[in-house]
Amino acid sequence: MLKSDMPAEIEHLFSKQFQYRKTSEWRLPSASDVFSSEHEELSNFISLKDSLNKTKNLLSDKKLDDWHRHTAFTNIAGRVVPEVRRSANAELCTQAWCKFHEIVWKYPLLPDNALWNRELNTIHLCEAPGAFISSLNHYLKTQDVFCDWNWVANTLNPYHEANDGLVMIADDRLIANTLPWWYFGPDNTGDLMTIKYLDGLQQFISNMSVVHLVTADGSFDCQGDPGEQESLVSPLHYCEVVTCLLTLGKGGSFVLKMFTLFQHSSINLMYLLNCCFNEVHIIKPGTSKAGNSEVYVVCLDYFGKEVIQDIQPKLIHNFGTGIAKKSLFSQRCLPESFLLCHLECCTFFNKHQTETILENLHLFSDMGEEQKKKLNTLRNVAVTYYRQMCDLRRIERKHWLVKNPRAGCSLNPSWMGIRNRRTDTYNERKQLEALTWTEKVAQGFFNPWLKDHVQSNRSVGSFLEYPYCDLNPDNWCFLQGNPLPRIKSSPFCENELLKALNETIAEFFKGTVTNILALPPCSSCCVLDIEYFASVVLSMMDGDQHIFICGAHSLYTFLNERQRSCSFLEMPMSHENISLLHDGEPVYEQQLITLVVCALQKLKKGFTST
């Protein structure tokens, strides 16, 4: 597509970029000036924040599902992802995949020394489900970049059930098939906001001669307080930046997702990055939804760890949530030229976002057929432009990271990507959040998730199986980590239902709820089909096997009536300490083991057990 033929809307969409113009006075302050002052916001930037939040507040009465459906249609780049997935055979192709591909094409992320030496080492923080990695792999394979590529990735561990499912991305399609390349830290949670994780990561990558690229795509759901997204995510951004500065090699590149850059925490981080890298750019990829605050900071040519040597102890000391206590730099440490440049940057992206929100609002109430036709045309043009801009080529499956995925190794796909299903307006959500638990139940706060609670195929998928031939204890390894205070995520339960159950249990202990066990059964819950379970159990048996049945007395009765050799293991369950972790409590486990051992001793000679 010739530039003269390009519609202005397309050029506008793919040209949201800004570069900081550095001067010699942009230098890191002395260690004594680091984390030595209280937080102090800058009025010019807070005015921009207030202005943007005023525009965002116009959306407070819009229902989430209606608004998302509308903005999905008005998103000019909305057809890029499915077209790239289809035409380029892109692995794990998501919006993040397309955003990274756009960035890697617009900026020289891969240092020359990596290309010359044909060795590329990369670290990917907050990476789940893995789209940046698969996008980089596609780029390397289709652009004939011949190198020995080694990568390490991090994310909140989807297999650690203490991680909040409403914050964590549970999609493990790539993780499950590339697990040795993922580092979840000494506590096995994947939480990078701890010194233990930082130390462990440095040890984990010690075999890499030098790290050439670090990416950080961290965020979490801020729908409960969208106006404060920047401050809520700032501790995570700080930890991502410090992790990069302590692991990246000299001359390396860094890609960091951020949002608005109005508050002192973001301003200080941007100054830190400008003092550590030769070039710092901000880009809003065309494939990023134009109405949100998401931007990517692209840092090129790292000066090396020596540049932060003096302030490194303080950076590490305040790692984690420590940045919330003091300001990284005081206002007097920031040159006026930097503040003016940063204000120009913030004004630029604020203007684009505000215009998009207002345009979407206008079209929400008044979109004629001509406007729909124009949007459809622009969406098609955006696909063509994106493919040409990124020189997008098809990749064969043999070049994917996961060529032959192992069947059944991933989490329940029905829960993937589900973080928040609420469809009401922001105002309605805030009103509901102010209610007590009892009031929430009475007013239907939990109804959106309960509606999906009916299982159409009863009992199907209720068995966990593993091939006996692979059960070799010599091949097992033990992982140590933080004990589970409570279960916040599970591959067997939708996140919001699990959250509701935890809240119900908490209310029970506070006395708000009467005896849970005395409540009538839920009419929507699946009633176990004993005949189905029995048929599956019997199909797994081979020859004279004895069946131990724990807890399911109806199944025991069913099999016993049919003269199958079985024993029923019954143990008292305390109703005083209701917990999702009951089966992991030491007392319970000791009781269960004792019962099993006693049952085994009663087995007749020659019998085996199932």
- Please check if 61 is assigned to a binding site: no
Query: What whole-number distance in Å separates Cα of residue 70 and Cα of residue 375?
Result: 12
Given 257, 284, 289, 314, the catalytic residue: 257
556's tokens: 């025991």
Is 301 annotated for ligand binding?
no
To 5 degrees, how large is the angle CA 193–CA 226–CA 55? 145
Q: Which amino acid, residue 294? A: E
Cα 363 off chain centre by:
31
Quick count: other Cβ atoms within 10 Å of Cβ 261?
24
Alpha helix positions (H), 487-572: 495-510, 530-540, 553-561
Q: Which residues pair with 279 in a beta bridge?
A: 300
Buried b (16+ CB within 10 A) or exposed e, 397-423: eeebbbeeeeeeebbeeebbeebeebe
Q: What is the DSSP string of 271-314?
A: HHHHHHEEEEEEE--TTS-TTS--EEEEEEEE--GGGGTTTHHH
Residue 304: which of 233, 211, 427, 411 has the closest Cα?
211
**In which residue are the tokens 């293991």 written?**
569
99 is catalytic: no
Query: What one-character-per-residue DSSP string does 103-155 give?
Result: HHHHS--S-HHHHHHTEEEEEEES-TTTHHHHHHHHHHHHTT---EEEEEE--
d(CA 269, CA 261): 9
Instruction: Find out whether the peptide bond into 129 is cis, omega within 30 degrees of 0.
Output: yes
Q: Is 33 annotated as a binding residue?
A: no
Of 257, 254, 212, 211, nearest to 237 by C-alpha is: 257
Query: What is the C-alpha to C-alpha distance for residues 74 and 502, in angstroms, rounded to an integer?
Result: 39
Is residue 92 within 8 A of residue 130, CB to CB? The reply is yes
User: What residues form the annotated binding site for S-adenosyl-L-methionine?
Assistant: 130, 149, 217
Q: Active-site residues: which are they?
A: 257
